Structure formats: structure tokens, C-alpha cells
Chains A and B, each alone.
Chain A
Amino acid sequence: AQSVTQLGSHVSVSEGALVLLRCNYSSSVPPYLFWYVQYPNQGLQLLLKYTTGATLVKGINGFEAEFKKSETSFHLTKPSAHMSDAAEYFCAVSDLNRGKLIFGQGTELSVKP
């Protein structure tokens, strides 16, 4: 069965600093992996995804993530944090057999001025 684990329920960075949100997955088949972002009082929206091909994927708002099979990781990064990046971030893996997304427990990103 597939699962994802996000390390750190809360990450705080200064504006302009590097953002690193960690996600490790478990999957018996090649995984399809995703990052979603949830701004306050809103639904989730897709930030980026890895399915096949290039292991470094770029998403919206300057975010990117790298799929590392050897480390079973899919960490999310952004070189320079902006105040507007403050949100909850969810890593997810696709359970292809059952047609559903399985989400991690989320990481809240705070950005200090």
C-alpha cells in the first residue's frame, strides 16, 4: 500500500530564505507523487507533480521538487520564500489501483518578514 510521510508539521523561514519541505513515500510500484498547497480558508490546489520522466519537476510560484528513488523522497523546495507562500503544504501519492490520492499529514509553512 502506498503512503507518504511529511517530516515536520511546521516549518518557519525568513522572507528570502530557502524553503525545504520534506516528504518521503512508500510504494510497491513506481509512484506518482504530488504537492498540493492550501491557503487559509481555501481548498487545495495542485502545485506540481511527478509521474514519469524528468525527476526534477517545476511547479507554480517558483516551487520545484526532486524525485529520488534511492531515498524514497520527494522534497519540495523554493530558493527564496515570499510572504505569500505561507500556507499548508501536502504531499500526496496516487493509489492507482483504487483511483485515489493519499495525502500526508501536511506541513504548515510560516514566513517571517
Chain B
Amino acid sequence: DTAVSQTPKYLVTQMGNDKSIKCEQNLGHDTMYWYKQDSKKFLKIMFSYNNKELIINETVPNRFSPKSPDKAHLNLHINSLELGDSAVYFCASSPREIGVRRGELFFGEGSRLTVL
């Protein structure tokens, strides 16, 4: 039973399209995150939600919109996709924000987005 699961695992699409990535965690955690990993493997946080409330919103274009229908789910919707959006997007969760203190981040396997 996968703890943090993301779908789809691979996504290939054209510039200008809109796409969504879904994330679900069955760990009972309160806090969920989206990280972006670029082609050089650099990991940067995009958003975090604590119990459905947005708490971190890094300098991400507003074409990216996270949505948390409940604390077990955090989806990422991307409008008007651009070439530079090609990356691997990781969802993660932690018991609470304080879980970050102990490095208790549990990552999904990633969703590789390729924009053509």
C-alpha cells in the first residue's frame, strides 16, 4: 500500500495545454507539499498545505494552482503549460509542519512532466 501516491507518473503534453497532477497520502499526515525537480536534479519547494490550508507559496507563476480537497489529497493544476515547466514534480507529506523539524518528509515517486 503506497504511502504517498501520485498520478500520473508520466505526462507528455503540448505547450499551452492545461494539466493536473494528483497526490494522495494514506499516512494520516496533516501537511502536504509540492516540490519541483528540474533537469539538473535541483529540488525546490512550490507549495505546502497544512490541513487544507495553504501555508507556503513560493515564487511560483500563478499558472500553478494547488488544491487540497481534504488533508489526504493535494492536487496541482497547471494552466497554459510552457517548455520550462518540464520537470519532475514530487508530492510529499509530513506529520505536521513540525515534522519538517525532524526531516519527516515522505515523498511520492514523482510525476515526470514533459512539455513539447
Chain A residues touching B, range: 20 to 34
Q: Smallest CB-CB separation from B58: which chain A residue?
A: A100
Task: Give the contact stretch, choosing among A13-21, A61-69, A71-79, A86-94.
Answer: A86-94
In the docked arrangement, what's the CA distance between A41 and B33, Å?
19
Interface status of A113 (Cβ within 8 A of chain B): no
CB-CB under 8 A for A100 and B56, given A43-B90, A43-B110: yes
Inter-subunit contact B43/A32 (CB<8 Å): no
Main secondary structure of the interface of A (DSSP, over half): strand
Inter-subunit contact A46/B56 (CB<8 Å): no
Other-chain contact of A99, B48, B108, B110 (Cβ < 8 Å)? B48
Which residues on the B side are within 8 Å of A38 (C-beta)?
Answer: 41
Interface status of A34 (Cβ within 8 A of chain B): yes
Inter-subunit contact A98/B105 (CB<8 Å): no
Which residues on the B side are within 8 Å of A98 (C-beta)?
Answer: 56
Which residues on the A side are within 8 Å of B98 (C-beta)?
Answer: 99
Inter-subunit contact A106/B41 (CB<8 Å): yes
Inter-subunit contact A105/B102 (CB<8 Å): no
Inter-subunit contact A41/B109 (CB<8 Å): yes
Other-chain contact of B101, A32, A43, A44, A46 (Cβ < 8 Å)? A32
Which residues on the B side are within 8 Å of A51 (C-beta)?
Answer: 101-102
Inter-subunit contact A45/B107 (CB<8 Å): yes
Inter-subunit contact A96/B101 (CB<8 Å): yes
Inter-subunit contact B97/A99 (CB<8 Å): yes
Q: Smallest CB-CB separation from A49: which chain B residue?
A: B103
Q: How far is the CB of B84 from chain A (nearest CB, A)?
A: 18
Sample of 10 further A-B pairs with CB below 8 A, known A43-B109, A99-B31, A106-B42:
A41-B110, A42-B110, A43-B92, A44-B43, A46-B104, A46-B105, A95-B100, A99-B100, A101-B105, A106-B41
